[in-house]
Chain A
């Protein structure tokens, strides 16, 4: 199965690169003028365009891109002047950290509420749970983020308003994920600082995610709980705990994992708004900057990278299905 999946990914990646390349180059706007700013005189524009190879025919530029990309070389970013892969790997840890932290926040909020709401279907708890979910899904990320910054940052000075870690705290880089590295090296000061910086962005992102997952969790548990095999399980005298944990949840998990997988894919593609609000140096912000400055190679590199990420996440989700539901393994 794995081999088939990997071979199948090749045309997808090629297609993505082709579409992105031509869309970017056909979109109006010009990176060179923007880069040169006020000093963009005719002569200087021409010279820069030549130096960056932007005067060559598009097909030639695309071929050059593919030829290098297969070797893992995505070229240099026009704006930053460093290799695209360097920029992506600089930003990747921040994105991973935020993605998993918000997923964690989402799971610890949504699963208990969703499952409990389903079990106590139509009760006071159910209604309050669903109201909460409704509120969560309706709060725009930028608003929630700014409100958190305003109260927890500006007014109460409990949490830092921007960045990933306080200056002066050294972490020995192992995975470049600050939480993981500080745990591995037993550096509690770093762990504390990284947690403080991560809290507001993770809650901002996690809240809207939790709202969606709560509703999905509730409905899939509800669906399973009405199945005959649950009645059978109860009839044969299983404890309520066993019915919920072993029979209901495990079967309801398929839908929940699917939605979590999809959301994780989106989170790994960076969450532009949250990253911008909190000056979180992740990949989403990098992509937006790249698009708005028409930094062609950077856009191509980042999107290509996203395509690979989605592929990996989908693969993991499929493997998880097999683990959760033995019937799929057959």
Chain B
């Protein structure tokens, strides 16, 4: 009798829980419409987020993209013409050791106060002096800043510094008045001149912004923007498919073909700015020998990697920088894949029996680095070069015992650049870093001169010549830049930018 009663209870229990469960599932299904894109709100699911409200405490392109809604920079890059154009700067003039910037008039901060040269000086000073700032290095040669009037800023540098425009790109202008008013707490009041106003921020959660109705430039179409950090790719894809997000970044090649067949979403692709190459440390044997470096250059065929590992989503580099970079030399040709020639060079260099090298790479930083380096090792073997693969955690790879300590002889690395100067300066100019220890006085001279040349065309020509020298010296083995792949809801009109920034001001939603 008792057993009987219990059985009924269990059934009853099951029935009831099923009913509750189904009910719980049904209600959000009704609410799902509320999540899909509306004309008023775009939700961007991004793999990285801002770590704090300090607009200078980061140096990653996707994060610059978030800040660029609230703050404006002085200049921005037009990737089609490879030239800088003014955002808050109306015009500029390069006068040897001086840069004179004239600022746009009538620009106001979100609190209504006017944007003036004092704000520019304050912003750059903070970038240089804030202990948390990761942007100090850009202004290492600035000696003085003056504001003769409200709309003119004169920046004096130690020596002529033509690359200042590139250094000013992605440097956002904040309000001095806000800083004076709130002191230490100023970052909590993110006030800029940008197309969107700050609403709220949750660390590693949502960052929300609303349209600046009094924006000085063209008014954006979408009213509200939510940046949500979703680290896991599978979750970003699921979120996009379900309509919980309108744009997602960092879509892998594998997911890209699946997404492109979906009725609700499309794929948006653009050649990215991060260029991958094999770096060789010229201070270490056998890479101090140009013949060995050339032999390695003849032994690598990145086309195979692009085709088989990236399914065609990559762009072969013919010179030390990608073709979409300022200062790229269109006349350069990469070393062809000729293992026979490589063997001859090795024999000439004193290694007739081949070579043994270690190839370092960081799988947690560079996508598919394991597979890629295996292919490279296999290609090198055809020239008689046996490469041992050494995967390292990025924090080790990039640290004092690794790349930046000058301890790695041969490694696979990626570096984003808008202007060839940043790569040439940081990797190949003598004495700046220990990453490759390349030394060539002629190259150094060209970089010195290029950094002093205000005429952008002449400067580009100098960079092109510097690039030619690097290729001739086989200072690196250029590989490819990859496609930046985004998943976008079909009713969102937006074109991807090469610089990994997702800017809602460029976006429209079809209803």
Size class of the contact patch on chain A: 35 or more
- A162, B137: Cβ atoms under 8 Å? no
Measured between beta carbons, the chain B residues less than 8 angstroms from A36 are 59, 134, 137
Measured between beta carbons, the chain B residues less than 8 angstroms from A45 are 404
- A150, B134: Cβ atoms under 8 Å? no
Measured between beta carbons, the chain A residues less than 8 angstroms from B234 are 146, 149-150, 277
- B134, A34: Cβ atoms under 8 Å? no
- A163, B206: Cβ atoms under 8 Å? yes
Measured between beta carbons, the chain A residues less than 8 angstroms from B426 are 38-39, 41
Q: A196 at the A/B interface (Cβ < 8 Å)?
A: yes
Q: A30 at the A/B interface (Cβ < 8 Å)?
A: yes
Q: Considering the chains assembled together, what is the distance between the CA atoms of A215 and B325 in angstroms?
A: 61
Q: B132 at the A/B interface (Cβ < 8 Å)?
A: yes
Q: B204 at the A/B interface (Cβ < 8 Å)?
A: yes
Measured between beta carbons, the chain B residues less than 8 angstroms from A40 are 398, 404, 433
User: Given contacts A29-B393, A153-B244, A163-B205, are A39 and B137 in contact (CB under 8 A)?
Assistant: yes
- B395, A149: Cβ atoms under 8 Å? no
Within 145-169 of A, Cβ neighbours of B (below 8 Å) are at 146, 149-150, 153-164, 167
- A281, B35: Cβ atoms under 8 Å? no
Q: A51 at the A/B interface (Cβ < 8 Å)?
A: yes
Q: A175 at the A/B interface (Cβ < 8 Å)?
A: no
With beta carbons under 8 angstroms apart, the residue of B138, B237, B400 that contacts A39 is B138
- A38, B415: Cβ atoms under 8 Å? yes
Q: B467 at the A/B interface (Cβ < 8 Å)?
A: no
> Chain B nearest CB: distance from A69 CB in Å?
22
With beta carbons under 8 angstroms apart, the residue of B52, B244, B395 that contacts A294 is B395
User: Given contacts A33-B398, A33-B400, are A154 and B206 in contact (CB under 8 A)?
Assistant: no
Measured between beta carbons, the chain B residues less than 8 angstroms from A34 are 394-395, 398-399
> Chain A nearest CB: distance from B31 CB in Å?
9
Measured between beta carbons, the chain A residues less than 8 angstroms from B231 are 276, 279
Q: Considering the chains assembled together, what is the distance between the CA atoms of A265 and B51 in angstroms?
A: 28
With beta carbons under 8 angstroms apart, the residue of A28, A159, A160 that contacts B396 is A28
> Chain B nearest CB: distance from A119 CB in Å?
10
Q: Which of B131, B399, B431 has the most CB of A within 10 A?
A: B399
> Chain A nearest CB: distance from B279 CB in Å?
13
Q: Considering the chains assembled together, what is the distance between the CA atoms of A80 and B137 in angstroms?
A: 19
Measured between beta carbons, the chain A residues less than 8 angstroms from B140 are 43-44
Q: B401 at the A/B interface (Cβ < 8 Å)?
A: yes
9-residue interface stretch from B222-230, B327-335, B374-382: B222-230
The residue of chain A having its C-beta at the shortest distance from the C-beta of B32 within the complex is A157
Mask of A71-85 contacts with B, CB within 8 angstroms, 1/0: 000000001111000
Within 180-230 of B, Cβ neighbours of A (below 8 Å) are at 202-206, 208, 226, 228-230
Q: Considering the chains assembled together, what is the distance between the CA atoms of A39 and B421 in angstroms?
A: 12
Q: Which of B54, B140, B204 has the most CB of A within 10 A?
A: B204
Measured between beta carbons, the chain A residues less than 8 angstroms from B45 are 162
Q: Considering the chains assembled together, what is the distance between the CA atoms of A294 and B206 in angstroms?
A: 25
- B228, A162: Cβ atoms under 8 Å? yes
Q: B232 at the A/B interface (Cβ < 8 Å)?
A: yes
Q: B239 at the A/B interface (Cβ < 8 Å)?
A: yes
Q: B353 at the A/B interface (Cβ < 8 Å)?
A: no
User: Given contacts A153-B235, A279-B229, A279-B235, are A29 and B241 in contact (CB under 8 A)?
Assistant: no
Besides A30-B396, A157-B32, 18 other A-B contacts (C-beta < 8 A): A29-B395, A29-B396, A30-B399, A33-B403, A34-B398, A38-B59, A79-B51, A80-B203, A146-B234, A149-B232, A153-B242, A158-B29, A162-B228, A163-B228, A167-B226, A192-B27, A241-B2, A277-B232
18 residue pairs of the A-B complex, CB under 8 angstroms, read A30-B399, A30-B400, A42-B431, A42-B433, A79-B51, A81-B57, A157-B32, A158-B32, A159-B28, A161-B230, A163-B206, A279-B229, A279-B230, A279-B231, A281-B202, A292-B393, A292-B394, A293-B395
Listed in ascending order, the chain A residues whose CB lies under 8 Å from chain B are 28-31, 33-45, 51, 79-82, 87, 90, 146, 149-150, 153-164, 167, 192, 196, 239-241, 276-279, 281, 285, 292-294
